[in-house]
């Protein structure tokens, strides 16, 4: 999304009853960087693998994403990040 900014993300998160913290922002910016580098939205599995390779001391898991991004966490992550939901799973 070209009009994405931090306030956009905060407003979407607020509607989902998610209060964004530093860990959320690390994941959001990682997803956005991945999308603009590879021109494709990462699947959740790709997100976890690539994020954990880059952040050795700050790892995430599927359960952790579910905990911090709440119900329908996968869709919430992409909406808040302002990038399209992946239509094909790469892994």
pLDDT in tens, 39-61: 999 999 999 999 999 887 889 99
Backbone angles phi, psi at 65, to 5 degrees: -60, -40
- Any idea how long the chain is? 91
The rounded mean pLDDT for the chain is: 90
- Whether the CB-CB separation of 78 and 41 falls below 8 Å is answered with yes
Question: What's the pLDDT band for 88 if we cut at 50, 70, 90?
Answer: low
**Is 80's pLDDT higher than 80?**
yes
Active site residue 89: yes
pLDDT exceeding 70 applies to what percent of the chain? 95
**DSSP character at residue 62:** H
Cα angle value 59/18/9 (rounded, 5°):
85
Choose the catalytic residue: 68, 89, 90, 91.
Answer: 89
Identify the structural domains of the chain with CATH numbers, from first to last.
6-81 (1.10.10)
The pLDDT of 64-71, averaged and rounded, is 90
d(CA 91, CA 89): 6
């Amino acid at each position: 999304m070209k009009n994405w900014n931090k306030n956009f993300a905060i407003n979407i998160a607020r509607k989902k009853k998610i209060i964004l913290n530093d860990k959320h922002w690390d994941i959001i910016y990682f997803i956005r960087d991945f999308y603009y580098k590879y021109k494709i939205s990462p699947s959740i599995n790709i997100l976890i693998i690539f994020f954990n390779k880059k952040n050795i001391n700050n790892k995430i898991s599927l359960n952790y994403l579910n905990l911090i991004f709440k119900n329908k966490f996968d869709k919430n992550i992409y909406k808040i990040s302002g990038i399209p939901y992946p239509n094909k799973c790469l892994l």
